[in-house]
Amino acid sequence: MRALSLLVLSAAAVLAGCQHGNVRKDPVEGLDFIALPASARGQQDLYIGRGQVIVRAYRGCVAHGSCSKEPLERHHVRAGKEVCTGAGTDGEQALNCVSFDEADVFCKFVRARVPTADEWQRAALRTGRDAILATLTDWTSSGGGGQKEVRTGNWKDADDEQRSWSTGSRPSAGFGAEVGFRCVQDAVP
């Protein structure tokens, strides 16, 4: 099984106990995190998923018995084509058709959490548009009253609408073919 790598891209001397360029290992297959150093007072150093959580990584959580297998069994056909990636065989695709609650359990399984909307925005501004934009909208942990904010453009939007500050909200227990997620870890000195 390939290890989860936490690659430090910061020029800061130490983040989360790793020197610049070092890699930390974790026993989760299919995830990469990049360093996101604090840029203002009150912010803390973070690691954020380089990409959205892929089907293979989520399958590992299910095999461990920590995550629900429902996102891997959901079927939704649009225009005659299956659009839920968990139901397919390609483990390298970003997982969609996953609720916030299921994303939250997965992130906790990898000793991480779903980023807040502000953390997601910070990552979009600091790492560059191409690094954070993806084919799916990301869940964030911001929101209340059974609703969670989602961020970014997605494959349903026109190209000119794919900008990092796109926001919306969805029921946290709901799921959709256009929604995936990434995780964030707090950097511990």
What does each C-alpha distance from 20 to 6, 35, 48, 50, 160 come to in angstroms? 11, 9, 16, 17, 36
Model pLDDT, residue 135:
66
The model's pTM is 0.77
Residues 152 and 161: beta-carbon distance below 8 Å: no
CA distance 155 to 189: 38
Q: What is the pLDDT of residues 30-58, one digit of tens each?
A: 677 777 777 777 778 888 887 889 999 99
Model pLDDT, residue 28:
61
DSSP 3-state assignment of 69? coil
CA distance 182 to 163: 17
Model pLDDT, residue 133:
58
Only one residue has tokens 């070092």, namely: 22
Predicted confidence band of residue 80 (pLDDT cuts 50, 70, 90): confident
Q: What is the DSSP letter of 98?
A: -
Q: How far does the chain reach from its first CA to its final CA, in angstroms?
A: 28
What mean pLDDT, rounded, does the chain reach? 75
Q: What is the pLDDT of residues 100-118, one digit of tens each?
A: 999 999 999 999 999 999 8
CA distance 9 to 140: 23
CA distance 148 to 117: 9
Alpha helices in 2-141 (DSSP H): 55-64, 70-73, 100-109, 117-127, 129-132
Return the higher-pLDDT residue of 7 and 93: 93
Residue 172, token pair as written in the block: 């946290």
